[in-house]
Chain A
Amino acid sequence: MFEILTLPFMQRALIAGIFVGFLSSYYGVFIVQRGLGFLGSGLAHAAFGGVALSVLLDQEPLWIAVPFTIIVALGITYVKDKTSLGGDTTIGIFFAVSMALGIIFIFLKRQYSSDAFNYLFGSILSVTLADIIVPGILILVTIIFAPFWKRWAYSTFDRELAEADRIPVRLDDYLLSVLIAVTIVVSIKVVGIVLIAAFLVIPPATSRLINKSFSKMTFTSLVIGVLTALVGLWISYYLDVPSGATIILIQASLFFIVMIIKSIVH
């Protein structure tokens, strides 16, 4: 049962799983509570544009996809801030443009690329050292920015109260959107572009069902995110099925179990 821990590619995949489980479930609480579920989906598809560009340029996908997705995230936040358009409309525009660019880039390559498909559905076999180092750096950044949780939570609850207490909510919006963008890009090797939005939303949503305070919701979401990523990777190895889909199905099962138990208890 534990022999998978001796396999180097599984060691990399499990470490990456812990890292991206942590990051997604941490930033996911803000996505869920701010009603930004569609942002996860939009940025994941933006990441596809970045991955496709890297395929076209024969470069390591992470180095192209990270800045590409950050630019899209900043663009979404900027347009939302400067216009009266709704968040979903803004995200929808950037989502479509990024996907269209991605399709053109893949078409221009004119040859089959396994890289692009690994990013679409997630592949534990393809996790490289860079896929551990970059999320590791992001976790360090997240720990350094830990005091910001109190500011982000405050403006998540009520933007006006936070502004009245002189919290720079617009600056925080940009910062948060960049960190969410990077989280999405570093998570797609394990989970896949197609399913990353669910990966960001399900652990916090499950946690929301059982917690009455935002701090407890954040902590429980972290535990669920990390554990389900590990269990999902383990099962995907034994069943030889895609890792992203396995993790999402485990998370969704847990969500429905918690929901049913909660409705019975109440």
Chain B
Amino acid sequence: MSNAIEIKNLSLSYGKIKILENINFSIPEGDFVSIVGPNGAGKTTLMKILLGVIKYNIGEVKIFGKDVADVDPSLIGYVPQIKTMDRSFPALAIELVTSGITRRWPWFVTGKEKQKSLEALTLVKAENLANRTLSELSGGELQRVCLARSIVRNPKLVVLDEPATGIDAIGEADLYNLLEAYQGKSRATILMITHDWYVANHHSDSVLLLNRKQVSFGPPAEALSENNLRTAFGHIGHLHLLKGVK
């Protein structure tokens, strides 16, 4: 199986400040991978490098065998943190989903775009939200719409930045179910940033534990071992709640 993501000796510094240091891992196509680490560990920076938003200093980053700068952005579906999203922006949910197809903000939604957007909304059980404005959506509803936006272009890689932030426990459980259902159907690779060790342990094929440096990468039970968590976080918190982790 070929790799969806391949990172070799990746480092990034701003002046003398090292943001990421010597990151090495590869993710096979179709895997569900979580990136876990404390605040300021470089998780979001790494994600932005993969999205081509931040340029790196040293190393090699390949997505589907191509340098990150040359990758067709349509292959990647991105779900940003909803807490940073401007919900005062005058927009209907269906327009937001359509922006995932057009990669621009739509002046109007064509019949074909509307049909595709409604299909994506239906997939995440949010077709009833199509004509609601963003300000009328709850956190969980907006997260579903963002998920629909990311999958409407049938991406081979879905990148999620702390998707559970700002939504309740039921909404969070629904979100992971929808995500896994989409992955099962499309065989897309999923890369998710999360603070939640339990979620990472439960849903992922592999976990990348990060704190500026790569602490560990591998199956959750190995990557989230007590030693590794102590190295990354300085403590182990509620480690005993994680099944299979030693």
Mark A residues whose CB is within 8 Å of B. Answer: 33, 149-151, 153-154, 156-158, 160-161, 163-167, 208, 211-217
Contact of B104 among A150, A158, A160 (CB under 8 A): A150
Across the interface, which residues of B come within 8 angstroms of A151, CB to CB? 104-105
Question: Measured between alpha carbons, how far is A212 from B91 in the docked complex, in Å?
Answer: 6
* B14 on interface, CB distance cutoff 8 Å: no
* B13 on interface, CB distance cutoff 8 Å: no
- Docked-complex contact A215 and B107, CB < 8 angstroms: yes
8 cross-chain CB contacts under 8 A: A149-B107, A157-B89, A158-B80, A161-B80, A164-B51, A165-B73, A166-B103, A214-B89
Q: How many interface contacts (CB-CB < 8 Å) are there between A and B?
A: 71
- Docked-complex contact B92 and A150, CB < 8 angstroms: no
In the complex, per-residue mask of B66-92: 1 if CB is within 8 Å of any chain A CB, else 0? 000000010010101000111001111
Knowing A161-B78, A161-B99 are in contact, say whether A150-B106 is a contact too (CB < 8 A): yes
Question: Measured between alpha carbons, how far is A45 from B106 in the docked complex, in Å?
Answer: 34
Q: Which B-chain residue is minimally distant from A212 (CB atoms)?
A: B133
Across the interface, which residues of B come within 8 angstroms of A211, CB to CB? 90
Contact of A33 among B89, B99, B103 (CB under 8 A): B89
Question: Measured between alpha carbons, how far is A211 from B51 in the docked complex, in Å?
Answer: 33
The binding surface of chain A is classed by DSSP as: helix
The 4 closest A-B pairs by CB, nearest first: A153-B105, A150-B104, A154-B105, A165-B103
Question: Measured between alpha carbons, how far is A156 from B52 in the docked complex, in Å?
Answer: 19
Across the interface, which residues of B come within 8 angstroms of A149, CB to CB? 105, 107
Contacts A160-B80, A161-B78, A215-B107 known; 12 new A-B pairs at CB < 8 A: A150-B106, A153-B104, A154-B105, A156-B105, A158-B80, A158-B85, A161-B80, A166-B103, A213-B95, A214-B95, A215-B108, A216-B90
Q: Which B-chain residue is minimally distant from A210 (CB atoms)?
A: B90
Across the interface, which residues of B come within 8 angstroms of A215, CB to CB? 106-108
Shortest distance from the beta carbon of A175 to any chain B beta carbon, whole Å:
15
Please indicate which of the listed interface residues B85, B89, B92 has the most CB atoms of chain A within 10 Å of its own CB: B89
Question: Measured between alpha carbons, how far is A33 from B86 in the docked complex, in Å?
Answer: 9
Please indicate which of the listed interface residues A154, A156, A212 has the most CB atoms of chain B within 10 Å of its own CB: A212
Question: Measured between alpha carbons, how far is A252 from B78 in the docked complex, in Å?
Answer: 41
* B22 on interface, CB distance cutoff 8 Å: no
Question: Measured between alpha carbons, how far is A160 from B99 in the docked complex, in Å?
Answer: 13
Mark B residues whose CB is within 8 Å of A. Answer: 51-53, 73, 76, 78, 80, 84-86, 89-92, 95, 99, 102-108, 133
Knowing A154-B105, A161-B78, A166-B52 are in contact, say whether A213-B92 is a contact too (CB < 8 A): yes
- Docked-complex contact B90 and A208, CB < 8 angstroms: yes
- Docked-complex contact B90 and A217, CB < 8 angstroms: yes
Shortest distance from the beta carbon of B148 to any chain A beta carbon, whole Å:
14
Across the interface, which residues of A come within 8 angstroms of B105, CB to CB? 149-151, 153-154, 156-157, 214
Across the interface, which residues of A come within 8 angstroms of B95, CB to CB? 213-214
Q: Which A-chain residue is minimally distant from B96 (CB atoms)?
A: A157
Please indicate which of the listed interface residues A160, A165, A167 has the most CB atoms of chain B within 10 Å of its own CB: A165
Question: Measured between alpha carbons, how far is A7 from B52 in the docked complex, in Å?
Answer: 58
- Docked-complex contact A150 and B73, CB < 8 angstroms: no
Across the interface, which residues of A come within 8 angstroms of B51, CB to CB? 163-164
- Docked-complex contact A213 and B102, CB < 8 angstroms: no
- Docked-complex contact A212 and B92, CB < 8 angstroms: yes
- Docked-complex contact A160 and B84, CB < 8 angstroms: yes
Please indicate which of the listed interface residues A151, A164, A167, A215 has the most CB atoms of chain B within 10 Å of its own CB: A164
Knowing A163-B53, A165-B103 are in contact, say whether A156-B89 is a contact too (CB < 8 A): yes
Shortest distance from the beta carbon of B166 to any chain A beta carbon, whole Å:
15
Please indicate which of the listed interface residues B51, B84, B107, B133 has the most CB atoms of chain A within 10 Å of its own CB: B107
Shortest distance from the beta carbon of A48 to any chain B beta carbon, whole Å:
32
Across the interface, which residues of A come within 8 angstroms of B102, CB to CB? 150
Shortest distance from the beta carbon of A2 to any chain B beta carbon, whole Å:
36
Shortest distance from the beta carbon of A26 to any chain B beta carbon, whole Å:
13
Question: Measured between alpha carbons, how far is A157 from B53 in the docked complex, in Å?
Answer: 17
Q: Which B-chain residue is minimally distant from A215 (CB atoms)?
A: B107
Contact of B53 among A33, A164, A208 (CB under 8 A): A164
Across the interface, which residues of A come within 8 angstroms of B85, CB to CB? 158
